[in-house]
Amino acid sequence: MREGIAAIAELVRQTKTVAICCHVSPDGDTIGSALALKLAMERLGKRVEVFCADKVPGVMAMLPGAGTVRTYASLALGQRFDLLFPVDTASEDRLGNGVLEQMRVLCTDSCQIDHHGTNPGYCRVNCIDGTAPAAGLIVRELLAALEVPLDRDLACCLYTAISTDTGNFSFNNVTAEAFRVAAELVEAGLPLAEMNRQLFVVQPEAQVRLTARAVEGMKILHSGEVAVMVLKKADFEALEALPEHAENVVNRALAVRGVRMAALLREHEGRVKASLRAVAPYVVSGIAARFGGGGHAQAAGCTLNGPIEEAAARIGEALCAALDEARV
């Protein structure tokens, strides 16, 4: 990984304009990492734009630079960049339909930072570390290689990246390095209590009610070891909830004593998005891959055809079967 960091650092030093790209349905790791890169590169005199196919979730609107994230439709005619820089984006399609092809025409070179082991390395220079809990930790290494000192703004962005992808340092993917970097961020001025409150405590009323609706209809399978929740389009409409409000609802199912695997399925643009979670040592990434998705061992996702009740049944059966297979 460190060889990849050195190569990207040299590439950044030689470039003047950079297009940083986030994945669709952006989470804290992709947004936090992208904004940290933008801040750092601007301090090195680069002209940097951050792009995302979807808008920044409200929970991250307080991050420095969040309001500057652009859609690809906002690209000016003839606008070009020296460097295309996806971050935390495991595959080309995760940038958005046709985005990589569009941006490659506008960019002279490309590199990426990611922590998904399934990433095929679709840029010219790739720094992919499947053992890293968050892309934000790799970004921190790049900032060190570029000799950009940490400050409060960078700390807020990097903390968002690292803490959200580790479940506020509670997931099985947490490493000692994650805690060491967190300590650096606190030393750099991170307002820890306020960041934790904004990221993990405060929620819009619609999100709280959406979570309640999902939990109310939760089905428990496999002698109490599998939980499946469903949210229909009508649920979002009735509560005036946004897709981002369902982001972490699936984790509520793992709060049920005895549950080892959980899924949340929600209707989205004519299809069904499934978020899968597991308690170590159980793994859901293989299940997601079977349905055309991917992700991490204990946190993955996929998209299925409806109707949602049938999709939920298929996912429930797959989770139950995976538990049985894991114990053979």
Same domain for 100 and 245, yes or no, is no
Residues 100 and 57 in one domain: yes
The model carries a pTM of 0.90
Range of the domain at 120: 2-201
Number of compact structural domains in the chain? 2
Q: What is the CATH number of the domain that holds 225?
A: 3.10.310.30
| 14 and 73 both lie in a single domain | yes
pLDDT tens by residue, 188-226: 999 999 999 999 999 999 999 999 999 999 999 999 999
Identify the domain boundary among 155, 182, 201: 201
User: CATH number, domain at 51?
Assistant: 3.90.1640.10
Helix, strand, coil % in the chain, rounded to nearest 5: 45, 20, 35
pLDDT tens-place string over residues 92-117 = 999 999 999 999 999 999 999 999 98
Co-location of 64 and 167 in the same domain: yes
| Arithmetic mean of pLDDT, 121-130 | 96
Task: Quote the pLDDT of residue 309.
Answer: 96
Query: In terms of domains, do 274 and 298 share one?
Result: yes
Specify whether 258 is located in the same domain as 186.
no
**pLDDT, position 327:** 83
Task: Single out the residue in 175, 201, 227 at which a domain terminates.
Answer: 201
Domain boundary residue among 171, 201, 231? 201
User: What is the band of 163 on the pLDDT scale with cuts at 50, 70, 90?
Assistant: very high
Q: Do 263 and 154 share a domain, yes or no?
A: no
Mean pLDDT of 72-78: 90
In this structure, the answer to whether residues 165 and 258 fall within a common structural domain is no
Rounded to an integer, the average pLDDT of 179-187 is 98
When pLDDT is averaged across residues 81-101 and rounded to a whole number, the result is 96
